[in-house]
Amino acid sequence: MAQLEGVAHIEAAEALRGQLIFIQRTQVPVGEDEYLWQDLVGCAVVDVELGPIGRVVALTDYGAQDILIVRGDAHSVREGEWMIPFTSQIIRDVDLKTAQITVALPEGMDACFTPN
């Protein structure tokens, strides 16, 4: 939800329907275990057992949870694209200072992988 200065009534808000609203990054409240998507893009993703998975190239939301789109290259365990659910069962650590996300991919996650 947002409240805009000078927009006090529903009629004024309706006039802005479909418009983009921009705010300063510092105005976005982020909780202790919350992250802005733009901070996760570019992070390296490493599995606790497999090693380097790739880098986050995008995020998406399919309703149940956010999904990391991770692109593996020649330096990763597999080249291709992973769709990794951003859930506490899979995400072990997010370190924005080192730009690394540590995951523990459960058995069967190959179904979320598309090779090059």
Report pLDDT digits (tens) over 37-96.
999 999 999 999 999 999 999 999 988 899 999 999 999 999 999 999 999 999 999 999
Rounded to two decimals, the pTM is 0.82
Spatial separation of the C-alpha atoms in residues 93 and 96, rounded to whole Å: 10
In words, the CATH class of domain 37-115 is mainly beta
Distance from C-alpha of 53 to C-alpha of 73, rounded to nearest angstrom: 8
Q: What is the pLDDT of residues 5-27, one digit of tens each?
A: 889 999 998 998 998 888 888 88
User: Which among 64, 39, 34, 40 is positioned nearest to 54, based on CA atoms?
Assistant: 40
DSSP-based three-state secondary structure for 67: strand
For residues 23, 29, 34 and 35, what is the CA-based torsion angle, rounded to 10 degrees? 30
Q: What's 60's DSSP letter?
A: E
